[in-house]
Amino acid sequence: MRLRLHCYAFFCCTLVPLFGQALEPDAAGCVDSKIVPKLAGCRIDNCENKDSDHRDVAVREGEKGEPVTSAVEGESRSLMYECREGTTPASVVRQAIALLRDAHFEIPYQFAEQEGAITAQKGDLWVLLEAASRYYTLVELKAAPSDENASDAADMAEALERNGHVAIHGVEFSAGRAEIAPGSEPALREVVAMLEDHPEWRIRINAPTEPQSQAIVAWVTGHGIPRARLESSSVASKSIELVRIGPVSH
């Protein structure tokens, strides 16, 4: 019996330094993320909601490995997490990426060394993560609708990187039909050029009716863009919209 008690005492004494003291409960009034729920061994330290927020979001790496940013504005909610001693930014980034990919987010930017960062996007929803030491912050940012006109491939790509969606103008249909009018070709050629410049993107094409959306998809695929990169959809709108839905599957 004495041996067992000594063993139990030894186990308890070694357990505390190994795992640390229990973390405090989550901060009152904070609701965990449904996209990237708090990781094991972590707690919500604080949170903040903003009806209007502006973020310079890392959307890719530059030639020298530096983050290239794009401005995104919209409604946001932020959560800061505290984790147990021994948690590293690399482990936070690795676990968060797995959860984001399971949720079908595209991940245009990630970094993990002494600090860590992730940018993830699905449509107009952005998820931003920054990790340092045993803490990390998660931001969910819903991009505000953009009223800007995308007149060429570069404008379309910039808007898709920033907001996840963009309206295109100059695409017309024959009255009462899903037949694309001849004058629509310049705008559609810009869509093709944009997709050629970004072969890793998949795009959903929203149009007032499903047949109209399918007609645009057919035109674009007929000009060299693989069908697997495109989806068609109808929305209650008079405009044509492109929505970035994720990376190409390999």
Domains of the chain by range and CATH?
Answer: 19-143 (no CATH), 153-247 (3.30.1330.60)
Q: How far apart are CA 7 and CA 248, in angstroms?
A: 56
Per-residue pLDDT, 63: 77
Alpha carbon distance 84, 107 (integer Å): 26
Burial of 17 (0-12, 13-18, 19+ CB in 10 A): exposed
Give residue 3's pLDDT.
Answer: 37
The packing angle between helices 210-221 and 185-197, to 10°, is: 60
Query: What's residue 237's pLDDT?
Result: 64
- pLDDT means over runs of 10, the chain (250 residues): 40 44 89 97 97 88 81 91 96 97 90 94 90 97 72 88 84 85 92 94 89 94 95 77 75
- 46, 20 in Cβ contact below 8 A? no
* Residue 90: other Cβ atoms inside 10 A: 15
The confidence score (pLDDT) of residue 147 equals: 56
Q: Give pLDDT, residue 146.
A: 59
Q: Residue 74: which residues within 8 A CB-CB, separation 6 or more?
A: 52, 53, 124, 141, 142, 143, 144
Residue closest to 32 by CA, chosen among 23, 41, 45: 45
* Residue 115 φ then ψ, to 5°: -125, 170
